[in-house]
Structure 1
């Protein structure tokens, strides 16, 4: 006789409960191993994200074990209000128990109650996941790739000396005054292909949410500086173990076409390998031709794809 499985319940993640944080991070790693998540990064997001984001991480629990997660928030930095994000992941060993549907329902109710008129979700490009999204009324939009680079056994392009007038520095060199990096991050993020237009104007919020994020490794973040001005950068995230991820790479508009982003990212990757990191991850919108070319040059290989699904909440 098959043992009865306990019912699945959905509730808020308890930030003061280590088991919840570890369970959330474990599920995310099993379902989406290409993005770094740690208990510390989750606790930071809960404590530091701007109140206007209405951030609400949810967990699906069965037999006192976290088996599903949802990251739920408004894109409060968008110039267009009412953009809600619903990103749901279920442990691959616990699918078909209704956890995903319960998480979606709770997430949508929360976002609509706080003014969301459009709901957006990233969905792994697999038949079961896409069918699930479409069953809940979402329609497919843009796509993106996850990419992996073997830092331990792969061959990186050789280090290049900066061209005349360009200096390579580390993110930690800007610890006393990170505002120039905020301005560079804001400009480059605004030009990223996206369904939602972002405007980073709140420096203090950026300090809390991005600059002080526990995954951000300032010593492995590389910045190309021209005439004293940060012109390009490659921001590094690390998990404290062996995994490294590029959080953002970009070049200020006035300096594009000079290979500065490639220069900065190569510097960061070489230093990450020297520090003992064995895997590097990044992601590309499939419409971002320049970064696709750069990552191909480094030797990154596509390891998964995801599709942006959208639903009107009205």
Structure 2
């Protein structure tokens, strides 16, 4: 363990702090995930200063003896009922400062905060077969879930096939869509549909569950907008007014070539009608029409989520990397 590395909690994020964190994340990502674009400076600033929905964030910066930033750790403390036992760690060490104890010092600070905050479960995501995976195992984390990351190239889609899928008849259902926060007249139905995500496969993660209501779905839309991203939603609505399924896409920074898939869910009572494929195809068509600068969508699925993987492969998504979710059972004080 290097005594020359100092770990400091960041209370009020300055422009210099945000720039240092961005450089560290970019260097770490380029080394461990070649070909995966690092977040831009604006995204890092938003992450540091705009808490994710139902959570608050703690951040630590590790600095070498010469004053050069060597690593950064962010801890998301979940605050919603049903998840108050949970924290999520993101840790980056500059490749030039690895194997000097920097990551271990940052992890120690995060674990101490978990204990102080009464969090029993600390989860972290690493690239499969990466230095982060070895680091996690060495520090007592256990592997809890494997995720398949898939990419859909919108400019390579068979448009005739896509239009047939998006325009297919689904008797008793209609499609609707919106940008940003859900319209008031759909908020209650959307919240009910969001609760369908609570049965998604999470492996051995002690992830808890979240109860969605109209207030929470509105808050989600505001959080995404406040950090400068654009949220797009396509939903399937049953003739009785219930929302049967939906899919969400986020455009980081409001633009850029790669969109991020957020939730896709079909309410259990409406499964088996092809609604998942329908809403996702309609979203791909919408992106082609409204956001021609977006050329690809990235998503991830648990490797045990065979149904959604089949839907994504049918649409044209292709696997391109894997990540693993690790969990540390935090000892109580």
Asked whether the two chains share a fold, i.e. TM above 0.5, the reply is: yes
What is the TM-score when the length of structure 1 is the normalising length? 0.83
- Structure 2 gap ranges (5+): none
- Kindly report which structure 2 residues correspond to 1:1-314, keeping only aligned pairs within 5 A, or say none: 8-13=5-10, 16-25=13-22, 27-28=24-25, 31=29, 33=36, 39-40=42-43, 43=46, 46-49=49-52, 53-61=55-63, 68-77=71-80, 79=82, 81-92=84-95, 94-155=97-158, 157-159=161-163, 160-163=166-169, 164-172=171-179, 174-177=182-185, 178-185=187-194, 187-194=195-202, 195=205, 196-201=207-212, 203-214=214-225, 217-218=230-231, 220-227=232-239, 228-239=241-252, 240-274=255-289, 275=291, 276-314=293-331
- Decide which moves more: 105-114 or 20-29: 20-29
User: Does the Cα contact within 8 Å between 2:114 and 2:330 map onto a contact in 1?
Assistant: no
Structure 1 residues 107, 299: CA separation in 2 closer, same or farther (over 3 Å shift)?
same
**Greater Cα offset, 268-277 or 255-264:** 268-277
Residue by residue, what CA displacement relative to the aligned partner does 1:234-279 show, whole Å, maximum 9, x if unpaired? 1011122111011110111111111111111111122223312012
Q: Give, in whole Å, the separation in 2 of the partners of 1:130 and 1:59.
A: 21
Q: Given the superposition, is the C-alpha separation of residues 269 and 289 from structure 1 closer, same or farther in structure 2, using an over 3 Å criterion?
A: same
Q: Is the 8 A contact 1:27 1:89 kept in 2?
A: yes
CA contact (8 A) 2:21 2:44 kept: no
Instruction: Pick closer, same or farther for the CA change 1:90–1:169 going to 2, 3 Å.
Output: farther
Contact 1:13 1:21 survives alignment (8 Å): no
Shift of 1:64: 6.4
Show CA shifts across 1:31-84 (max 9, x none).
Answer: 26379676357536744446x744213344456665533331233336365222
Q: Is contact 1:236-1:244 (8 Å) kept?
A: yes
In structure 1, the residue corresponding to 2:90 is in which secondary structure?
strand
Q: 1:25 to 1:286 in 2, by over 3 A?
A: farther
Aligned residues: 307
Q: 1:203 to 1:94 in 2, by over 3 A?
A: farther
Rounded Cα–Cα distance in structure 2 between residues aligned with 1:38 and 1:134: 31
1:3 corresponding residue in structure 2: none
Question: Per the alignment, do residues 205 and 222 of structure 1 end up closer, same or farther by CA in structure 2, a change over 3 Å counting?
Answer: closer
Give the distance between the partners of 1:24 and 1:116, measured in 2 at CA. 25
